[in-house]
Amino acid sequence: MDTTTIETNFRSEEYFINMGPQHPATHGVLRLLLTIDGEIIKKVEPDLGYIHRSIEKMCERDTYQQIVHLTDRMDYLSSNINNEAVCLTVENALELEVPDRVKVIRTIIGELTRISSHCLWWGVMGMDVGALTTYFYGFRDRELINDIFEETCGARLTMNYNVPGGLMFDIHPNFVKRTKDFIAHFKTKLPEYDKLLTHNVIFQKRTKGIGILTKEDAISFGASGPVGRASGYSCDVRKHHPYSALDKVKFQEALKTEGDTYARYLVRIQEMWESLSIIEQLIDNIPEGEYRVATNAVIKLPKGEFYQRVETARGELGVYIISDGVKSPYRLKFRSPGFSNLSLLNHIAVGGKIGDLVATMATLDLVIPDIDR
């Protein structure tokens, strides 16, 4: 028998695997049905509904004051900003002008919330690709912000600090000092993030040129936040439609053009620096005055349609209210950033490997209750 020549035929075959709904890389109860050929991804089908709570339907039976706290349970890492979005919608509908003190405090709280969210994202991003130390560094800094929130309003995650007409409470006497202490601390820690992860050669090889999203596709899919801006799409609501005190500060919109996983990472790092700058410009200039204006115990919006957008840590959150003049909205719709950003996952993941999918998903920064309301 001639064994000098051995011919072996390799045949590839597509098959299906589940990622989630308990997989740690999905960051919540998200199920992805993957069609793969070996390690190569052919198709990604998100399957939602595992944490659906009918929040929008619940809003139709609740008063406008009660609706605010439901938004905590969507993107819980941007809860203060979500709360502010509903309050702004109600206040604009009522043509209610809140004091400048409220506007400045809301803006400071919102940027602290953004940094807190990005700290958690950064820690988990590193953990997803195997750098476990980042998790502890990110949470170390995030806890300092949560301490400020807890002293201010008594909560660390689901805040309900913003209310229609202003704030639930005035800021704590220690608020300014603790915020300035955090700024000084975090300015020394952000460079550590670069040393540990940003400039890490292995991390760069895992993220550069991976999951590329063009500017045209970002616009087509309705991407917003760091996902859109990493593709060169200028979409920062704070710049284009400033609210609260954002028209009184100067900051740069974080933009990249590469559109890959690494660019989405860099945008969020830059955003943390810019948020620090915004807070610095306001923290010593909080106006005196009331922290709340009086509203009726039962708020009734005039008949009509009202819309307000804000920039959460993940992108544009829109609140659309149809009012028929009673104490509850006839219809309320949330335009969540996560839903649109998730819709492009298949587009940027096909052709890559499962490991690439994990890194790419990390820079979409998905919070599943924000998508599956």
Residue 8 pLDDT grade (very low, low, confident, very high; cuts 50, 70, 90): low
In-domain check, residue 128: yes
Which secondary structure element, helix H or strand E, spans residue 71, and what is its range?
Answer: none
Alpha-carbon distance of 53 to 6, in angstroms, equals 60
Please, which residues have CB within 8 angstroms of residue 223's CB and are 6 or more apart in sequence? 213, 217, 231, 233, 235, 315, 340, 341, 344
CATH number at residue 168: 1.10.645.10
Residue 11 pLDDT grade (very low, low, confident, very high; cuts 50, 70, 90): low
Provide the pLDDT for residue 227. Answer: 96
Provide the pLDDT for residue 5. Answer: 47
Say if CB 179 and CB 148 are below 8 A apart.
yes
Token pair of 289 as six digits:
């005055």
Which residue carries 């590329």 as its tokens?
A: 212
The CB density around residue 265, as the number of other CB atoms within 10 Å, is 26
DSSP E strands in the chain: the ranges are: 14-19, 31-37, 40-47, 162-163, 166-167, 304-312, 315-323, 331-335
Residue 150 pLDDT grade (very low, low, confident, very high; cuts 50, 70, 90): very high
pLDDT, tens digit (0-9, with 9 covering 90-100), for 297-334: 999 999 999 999 999 999 999 999 999 999 999 999 99
Alpha-carbon distance of 156 to 138, in angstroms, equals 16
- Structural domains in the chain (count): 1
Residue 53 pLDDT grade (very low, low, confident, very high; cuts 50, 70, 90): confident
Provide the pLDDT for residue 278. Answer: 97
% of the chain at pLDDT higher than 90: 81
Q: Which of 156-160, 277-281, 290-294 has the lowest mean pLDDT?
A: 156-160
* Mean pLDDT computed over 21-47: 86
Helix (H, G, I), strand (E, B) or coil at 253: coil
Alpha-carbon distance of 82 to 308, in angstroms, equals 11
pLDDT, tens digit (0-9, with 9 covering 90-100), for 164-180: 999 999 999 999 999 99
In-domain check, residue 115: yes
Nearest-CA neighbor of 86 among 98, 69, 73, 99? Answer: 69
Which residue carries 């008949």 as its tokens?
A: 303
In-domain check, residue 38: no
* Mean pLDDT computed over 140-152: 95
Provide the pLDDT for residue 9. Answer: 60
* Mean pLDDT computed over 131-142: 93
In-domain check, residue 277: yes
Provide the pLDDT for residue 1. Answer: 46
Which secondary structure element, helix H or strand E, spans residue 168, and what is its range?
Answer: none
- Which structural domain range is residue 181 located in? 52-371
In-domain check, residue 46: no
Provide the pLDDT for residue 10. Answer: 59
In-domain check, residue 21: no
Please, which residues have CB within 8 angstroms of residue 8's CB and are 6 or more apart in sequence? none
pLDDT, tens digit (0-9, with 9 covering 90-100), for 178-190: 999 999 999 999 9
pLDDT, tens digit (0-9, with 9 covering 90-100), for 54-67: 999 999 999 999 99
In-domain check, residue 14: no
Residue 105 pLDDT grade (very low, low, confident, very high; cuts 50, 70, 90): very high
Q: Average model confidence (pLDDT) for the chain? A: 92
In-domain check, residue 336: yes
